[in-house]
Amino acid sequence: MEQKGVATRIKKGRRAVVWGEGSKASPGTMVQWLKERGGWVAIGEKIAIVRVSSDEFPLTAPVQGALEDIFVTEGSPFQAGEPLATIRPGRGGT
């Protein structure tokens, strides 16, 4: 889902981290980032906790690499399909 103004924030070669890309997905609130900007993440690794309705869910990395940009701060609401962060794909890690 592309939102006005969002495409310019996603740098070429980066992968957006989103919650609920489907049409039935609900908006949510960012509870906590488990990884810091610049931190290495593995594919499927839990990188944040989000609240949707009254339930909390893990947000996982879609690719391995470095967590590069964080667009939604803790306590902030977000829409389903909105980029919450970006990952710069890569191998290895620190």
Report pLDDT for 8: 44
Helix (H, G, I), strand (E, B) or coil at 34: coil
In this structure, the strands spanning 46-52 and 15-18 are: unpaired
Q: Using DSSP, state whether 28 is helix, strand or coil.
A: strand
Q: What is the pLDDT of residue 3?
A: 43
Instruction: For each of the domains in the chain, give its residue range(s) and CATH number, in order of start.
Output: 7-89 (2.40.50.100)
Which DSSP symbol is given to 26? P
Q: How confident is the model at residue 20 (pLDDT cuts 50, 70, 90)?
A: confident
Q: Produce one character per residue of 75-92: b if its CB has 16 or more CB atoms within 10 Å, e if not.
A: eeebebbbbbbbbebeee
pLDDT number for residue 5: 44
pLDDT, tens digit, 9 for 90 and up, residues 27-63:
999 999 999 999 999 999 999 999 999 999 999 999 9
Average model confidence (pLDDT) across the chain: 86
**pLDDT reported for residue 22:** 61
> What number of other Cβ atoms are within 10 A of residue 5's Cβ?
7
